[in-house]
Each structure stands twice: as C-alpha cells, then as structure tokens.
Amino acid sequence: MGFLRIEQVSRTFPGVGGGRPTQALERTDLVVEDNDFITILGPSGCGKSTLLRIVAGLEAPSTGRVLLDGQAVSRPGSDRGMVFQSYTLFPWLTVRENVTFGLREKAMPLAEQARIVESYVDKVGLRGFENHYPKMLSGGMQQRTALARALANDPKILLLDEPFGALDNQTRALMQELLLGIWEADRKTVLFVTHDIDEAIFMANRVAVLSARPGRIKFELRIELPHPRHYRMKTSVEFSGYKAELTEQIRTESIIAAQMAA
C-alpha cells in the first residue's frame, strides 16, 4: 500500500506575461514506506523542491495526487513537518519559543509542551541556548532549532528541502549525523531533497534520482549500509560503489540540463 504515495503527479507553471508555460515535473510516481528515509537527488532545476512542496501541500499538482497514510493531501498540515534550506525561524521568538510554537497552536497543556520542548532541545544539542534569539545563533544552530520545531509536533513524515545546503562542510557533516541519530532513535519517515551525492547516500535507505526538467523519477537505488552510520563509512568500498553509480546517473542528466539551457 505505501505510507506515502505520489501518484502521477505533475506540475506546470503558467507563463509570465503571456509567455510559454514551464513544465517542472512530468507525471511521476513514488511509494514511501513507513520509517523510510528517502533522499531525492537530481540536477539543478529538475523539480526536486517542487515535488517536496506538493507533498507538503504548499503547491497543488497539475495532475495526480498525493496520499499520506491513506488521506489525500490538499493543503499544509501538522502531519507533515517541513524544514527549508533558508532559516525560517521567527526572529522575535527565542529557541524555546520557536520550538513551542506548533504545540501552543494545538492548545496542548503547558506541562506537556514543556516536556516535549525540553526533550527536543536536548536531542538537537541546544541545551543552554533555549533563551537565545535566532540572530544570536550560528547557521547550524538555527537549523537545529528548525529541526526541533518540526519534530516537536510529532509529524507523520518529515520533509527536508536541502536543509544543510548553506552550512560549511564540517557543520553539514555533524548535522547529517545528528539527524540520522534522531531518525534511528525515533524511526520517523523522512523525504530529504539534496543535490549532494555523498549526502544522499549517507542519509538514505533509498535514493530516488530525478531526470532533467521536466523532472520524473528515472532511477531508484537501495542503500544497504548498516546502522548506526559513522562518517568513516564515506570512505568504504561499498560507499564508493554507490557513489560511482549515482554520479553516472546525475552526470547524464546534468549534461541534458546544460544542453537544454544553451
């Protein structure tokens, strides 16, 4: 059946000022099982973020539908937690208040709010920074706060749109291990968009590759690396084999994308 089903979903954007419409996504299908961690990989402009926004309910598909746990997705909802590449915290709220925001909107009892927030502050390593405002935090700490805010609402699925793309390499690697550790402990279902092949392999139990625009899922690769995963795994023979296969897939689509843009 599939926990999340993307069925024949496409997206075409109308032309600007009477210009030609742009087809971002061809009709595409994807089945995500409960507790899957799937990374979506593809060349720039292939529709990765558009697909994720459709699952989030932030965009409406031109054709097809998205089903989450058997229910059709038509608008944003608390059953989907979204983390963007850009820092989307409320600047006037502290770390604690940002993480509490969704729980307060649900009118959850204050004691329960506090218990959940304190738990996720600890999980993302922000103990001691609860009363800091976003402008007082590094980029990595802001993304830790955004991740804690999304997870605190206990969504059915976590959607991440290149969440570590703006971070330096060392911070990015630490954030990858942090998120994997939380996933291994909590067994959340995750759909993670990235343009980084190493990140796609390290994070996922399955990688879905999108073609050049208009995007469609053209290839899927199951990642059979053991858990828990350590950064040294990135130098293993098995990892290198996955990387070679995905590099060839992405290179082919990137060449097509460059030819279309020329």
Q: pLDDT by residue (tens digit) across 116-157? A: 999 999 989 999 999 999 999 998 899 999 999 999 999 999
pLDDT at 2: 65
Of 154, 185, 207, the position where a domain reaches its end is: 154
> Above 90 in pLDDT, residue 15?
no
Whether residues 43 and 56 fall in one domain: yes
| pTM beyond 0.85 | yes
If you count them, how many residues does the chain have? 262
**Where in the sequence is the domain holding 240, given as residue range(s)?**
1-10+23-79+156-262
Of 164, 166, 161, nearest in space to 198 by CA: 164
Q: How many domains does the chain have?
A: 2
Contacts 24+ apart (CB under 8 A), 237-241: 239/201, 239/202
Residues 149/101, Cβ–Cβ less than 8 Å = yes
Q: Does the structure show a pLDDT above 70 at 262?
A: no
Q: What is the mean pLDDT of residues 233-237?
A: 95
Residue 91 has pLDDT above 80, yes or no: yes
Indicate whether 257 and 191 sit together in one domain: yes
Domain containing residue 48: CATH number:
3.40.50.300
**Greater model confidence, 166 or 69:** 69
pLDDT value of position 71: 93
Residues 54 and 114 occupy one common structural domain: no
Last residue of a domain, one of 123, 154, 185: 154
| Residue 234 confidence class, pLDDT cut points 50, 70, 90 | very high
Distance CA 205, CA 226 (A): 9
> Has residue 18 been placed in a domain?
no
Q: Are residues 234 and 129 in the same domain?
A: no
* Same domain for 185 and 130: no
Percentages helix, strand, coil for the chain, rounded to the nearest 5? Answer: 40, 25, 35
Per-residue model confidence (pLDDT) at position 43 = 86
Q: Residue written as tokens 């690396």? A: 225
**Per-residue pLDDT tens digits for 28-50:** 999 999 999 999 998 888 899 99
